[in-house]
Chain A
Amino acid sequence: MLIVPCPNCGPRNAADLRYVGESRPRPDPNSASAKEWRAYLYERANPAGLLRETWYCRSGCRRYFTLERDTVTNEFTNPPTPVAKLGKRP
């Protein structure tokens, strides 16, 4: 099982977290075109390589944070950082 480095709880089994995926900036809800809004809803980067993605430490600190991971080797690269401004997806 993958170990996810939570910035607060340290290394945790991936099963302790929920994968949120790539988060995109949320367009202005009052001016976004349908095309922009639906790109925000549905389009996601899907590289074979580095991906910035959000995790939620469901069984630990209950914080959302972003990490950078290589989707081919599953290695996390940068030290984890708590999120800045991100979009949402339930």
Chain B
Amino acid sequence: MTRLPPQPGEVIDRSRPVDFTWNGRAMSGFAGDTIASALTAGGVRVVSRSMKYRRPRGYMSNDYWDPNGLVQVGDDPNVRSAHRLIEPDMAVEAQNVWPSLEHDLRAVTGLASRFLTAGFYYKTFMRPMWLWPTYEKVLSTFSPGGRIDLDTPHRYHDKRYTHPDVVVAGGGPAGMAAALAAAEAGAMVLLVEHGHRLGGHLLWGDDHDRTLAAELAAAVEAAGVEVLVDSTVTGRYEDNWTAIVQRNHPVAVERLIKARAKILVAAPGLIERPYVFDGNDKPGVMLSGAVRRFVNMHAVRPGSNAVVFTANSDGDAAAADLKRAGAKVTVVDARRGEGIVRALGGSKSVRAVELADGRRLDCDLLVTAAGWTAPTSLLNMACDRPVYDEATARFFPSVPIGNVLATGGLAGDGSPDELIDHARATGRLAAARARAVSHRLQAATARARPVDGEAPGWPPDIRPALPRVPHPALFRSTTHGVVDFSEDVSSKDMVGAATEGYDSVELLKRYTTATMGPSQGKLETVNTVAVLAEARGQTIAEVGTTVWRPPYAPVTMGALGGRLFEPQRVSSIHPWHQANGATFMLAGQWIRPDHYGDPAGEVRNTRQNVGIMDVTPLGKLDLRGPDVPKLLSHLYTNKWMKLAVGSVRYGIMCAEDGVILDDGVTGRLGDQHYMMTTTSSGAATVWEWAENWLQTEHPDWRVHVTPVTSGYTSINVAGPESRTLMRRLAGDVDLDPEAFRYMQVRTATVAGIRDCFMWRIGFTGELSFELHVPAGHGLAVWEALLEAGEDLGVRPFGVEAQRIMRLEKGHFIVGQDTDGLTKAPAVGLRHLIKLDKHDFAGKPELAWALEDPSAPVLVAIQPTHHGRVVPDEAAQIVRPGTNEIIGRITSSRMSPSLHRPVCLGQVLPEVSDPGTELTVVMLDGRRITARVMEHHAHFDPDGVRVRG
């Protein structure tokens, strides 16, 4: 295990040494080294411990998928050390070892492995039940991952969107050739390579391979293909919505790229499959590709005395590479019927191998080249079902998919020229189909112009099929070994599980957890299927395979989450609130002042003098047209056909099931011009609800609906002095009580701002004017109100004060005092349900609900003996002496005006009569007595103040 002299294909820069640490120990490598190559060059052989039995493990596949190569780098857990490049001062540590990598005390479990078969934990620890939490804690110490630092910030992770004609997944020879051909045919192409540079397996090949790689890469660049390296196509979703993770972004830790690919070309190559035999997880047992990458790319010789078990040309090439690097090499050729039975040696390194013919060869490196797994993931995500081919001993795609095309090793074998021809044909087909997709998408739009002339037909797939080169079916030797390295599952475990009845591939997978680890089956699936087939006496084709699920390679949560796009809405007065001590609250998307320090004081001031409140979040819909009254009559339960210009009216809306949807006032500003207000949370729903009726049931009604919630800043001016204040600012309107009465609306110029309108309504129960000011002038009018009303004692009030005042008045809030089953009759507004109207939303249900004697009703409630005890909101009302729930408090506050608690609640009809005594269970368990009140309004029940 030494650094070799310069190799022709090496990717390290010997002029740039890089120092890093491994478990605190100083190490050194060169720029271009992976953690794996630097560690191996430095003589490190054991890099991890297996999950269950804590067996020492070394590099096996020496690529991104190496199950033994997961390490901790700083605060980054589960880093693929055979992929991640070393950087100066990088702190690399072994994961999940205790107390150290060299001496893991939990390795005692290895001694008990005979008893700890897969799924053993399902068969024990049942009794005594009280001990289970302790067992659970012990089991969790075997958790195989690294560690996160909870203080790690969620850094910059912006995403990119792109709309290429063709995305090519895989930058090996096939992927490059496909990308090149597609670009030459005029397509906009994005080529995505998992590794650090284009070339795929050519990079660890011979001179001829590397020359080909360089030529293709240069041609790809010249053709204008966009190339992303150290990036992976992780998923193919509906309509070719393609996810790409870019790991080498200069700023983002990782970047998620979302590409709406017209055509996706899958050219990921093949993944080398481990061979199952006794001792196959000993450090020093490696795949041929691992050796070739070590030697040719990183100039590292992973052993000096090698046995190479080979069934194919890659194994032969690995043997040749090792020889050239000065190692002693013995070849065991599967094609000549030779075989290996078990690897021997200590736990920390292989020392010898026993062959099928009984020979025993000493070695410190055992290389296997037993065949390939086709990573068909992207095709599976497009509904392909791979089918096993006996001759080549691997799976192939079986379902033609119009917009996902496979080439390279997924599609077949053949000479380099044959493969490149196939890939080029694939690229041309992709480009032609991308053009057809463009036309199809355009054609979906009735008004669209066709792109670039005539729409082409769907280009047929006339690519000649690639040959399939027979390969020996090598999965397991005559001994049992590890199948899933990351999960520590052996073929013996699997045979046992199959015997127990977990004998379909999905059941076996779930029972043994095989294929559930970090490589998600890329190394293990086919061997799992093969072992199961053997156990069941079936063929691999009969057993079938599992479904590959996204992502193809893991993606950080940071890259997926990106930036949180959750709009926050504020009114134009927001800066003033911030500057003047407001405490804010969330109300859906809105951020609004809850209070300015003293809600009770705000109530008192509004009741005694005048208060102003920013009510901008109130939903506002501008309605125009001759048929607005018909729409209003349909949406609201009450009557609207005779609303006079200058008047406003309150209404409740119900869904077709009679449940209250929203409420609010609507005013008539002009002959064919109305303004509707909705609850803040209901604005969008009501708009779509109105549009639905207009577009579907009554397209003949002439009404325009325009949402203007944010177009106006809304200010409620309330209190006995509000008229005096408004007179100072809205001089063009006659504010005399007789001229501008309760429930009327006027357009006005307020504080010099034209096109305002205001109406006299009173959610707070006070004389009040609700101003709606063009949004850009909201702050100016707010400040004008404060200035003009200073001598009147004007003060702002927030949501909390408003809620107290409305509760004193007994006004309910949709969604708080009502719930998902509350129908209109239950809230005490039966007189607003006009069944003599021909039709309105929810009419039949409301007719039945008016006759329903069982539905809960909303009542005002006041505690009896405990005058100062405020019942908790959400406190339940029970039948005395029992826990049977017969109602609940929906709103409750201490009234600053009445100096006693005021509540609304829903109760069963049998206890809803005024004067009925109720038992309220407080949150702390105390039971208090309360009484049903006669009116919803606790304060000014006759509404004298509001009409003043």
Contacts and interface: CB of A to CB of B under 8 A. Distances in A.
Report A-B touching, CB under 8 Å.
Answer: yes
Interface of A: 1-3, 5-11, 18, 20, 23, 26, 29-30, 32, 34, 37, 40-41, 56, 58, 62-64, 73-74, 79-80, 82-83, 85-90
B657 interface: yes
Given A29-B839, A29-B843, A64-B695, A7 B238 contact: no
Contacts of A2: 238-239
B589 interface: no
29 contacts: A2-B238, A2-B239, A5-B444, A5-B445, A8-B445, A8-B446, A10-B442, A10-B448, A26-B697, A29-B839, A30-B843, A34-B844, A37-B844, A56-B691, A56-B692, A58-B688, A63-B695, A64-B695, A64-B696, A73-B383, A74-B238, A79-B446, A80-B444, A86-B696, A87-B656, A88-B693, A89-B656, A90-B656, A90-B685
Nearest to B692: A88
Contacts of B840: 29
Interface string B649-683: 00000011100010000000000000000000000
A30 B238 contact: no
Contacts of A37: 844-845
B685 A34 contact: no
Nearest to B695: A64
A26 B841 CA distance: 11
A86 B695 CA distance: 9
Given A34-B844, A83-B696, 13 more contacts: A1-B237, A7-B445, A7-B446, A10-B441, A10-B445, A10-B448, A26-B656, A30-B844, A41-B656, A56-B688, A56-B692, A58-B688, A90-B655
A31 to B, nearest CB: 9
A46 to B, nearest CB: 19
Nearest to A58: B688
Contacts of B691: 56, 62, 64
Nearest to B696: A86
A6 B201 CA distance: 45
B16 interface: no
A34 B831 CA distance: 23
A52 B691 CA distance: 20
A66 to B, nearest CB: 10
B848 interface: yes
Contact of A1 (B238, B656, B661): B238
A56 B448 CA distance: 20
Contacts of B446: 7-8, 79
A1 B163 CA distance: 13
Q: What is the size category of the interface that chain B forms with chain A?
A: 20 to 34
B696 A11 contact: no
Contacts of B845: 37
Nearest to B661: A90
A88 B697 CA distance: 8
A2 B241 CA distance: 8
A59 B697 CA distance: 22
Nearest to B705: A62
A23 B838 CA distance: 22
A-B pairs with lowest CB-CB distance, top 9: A10-B445, A5-B444, A86-B696, A3-B239, A29-B843, A2-B238, A1-B241, A11-B441, A64-B695
A80 to B, nearest CB: 7
A11 B441 CA distance: 6
A10 B438 CA distance: 12
B896 to A, nearest CB: 37
Contacts of A56: 688, 691-692
A30 B839 contact: yes
Interface string B444-464: 111110000000000000000
A58 B685 CA distance: 11
Contacts of A7: 445-446
A6 B844 CA distance: 34
Residue among A1, A23, A74, A80 with max Cβ neighbours from chain B (10 Å): A1
Nearest to B444: A5
A34 B848 contact: yes
A89 B696 CA distance: 11
Residue among B448, B696, B841 with max Cβ neighbours from chain A (10 Å): B696
A79 to B, nearest CB: 8
A65 B537 CA distance: 55
Contacts of B238: 1-3, 74
Contacts of A73: 383
B782 to A, nearest CB: 32
Nearest to A37: B844
Contacts of B239: 1-3
B8 to A, nearest CB: 46
A64 B697 CA distance: 11
A11 B445 contact: yes
A63 B699 CA distance: 12
Interface in B823-840: 838-840
B156 interface: no
A58 B441 CA distance: 20
B865 to A, nearest CB: 44
A41 B657 contact: yes
A85 B655 contact: no
A64 B692 contact: yes
B576 interface: no
B121 interface: no
A37 B843 CA distance: 10
A90 to B, nearest CB: 5
B688 A85 contact: no
A23 B696 contact: yes
Nearest to B848: A34
A11 B688 CA distance: 21
Nearest to B841: A88
A8 B239 CA distance: 20
A83 to B, nearest CB: 5
Given A10-B448, A80-B444, A89-B656, A30 B838 contact: yes
Contacts of A89: 655-656
A63 B655 CA distance: 20
B444 A11 contact: yes
Nearest to B838: A30
Residue among A20, A63, A88, A89 with max Cβ neighbours from chain B (10 Å): A88
Interface in B786-843: 838-841, 843
B447 A8 contact: yes
Contact of B656 (A3, A11, A83, A88): A88
B666 to A, nearest CB: 18
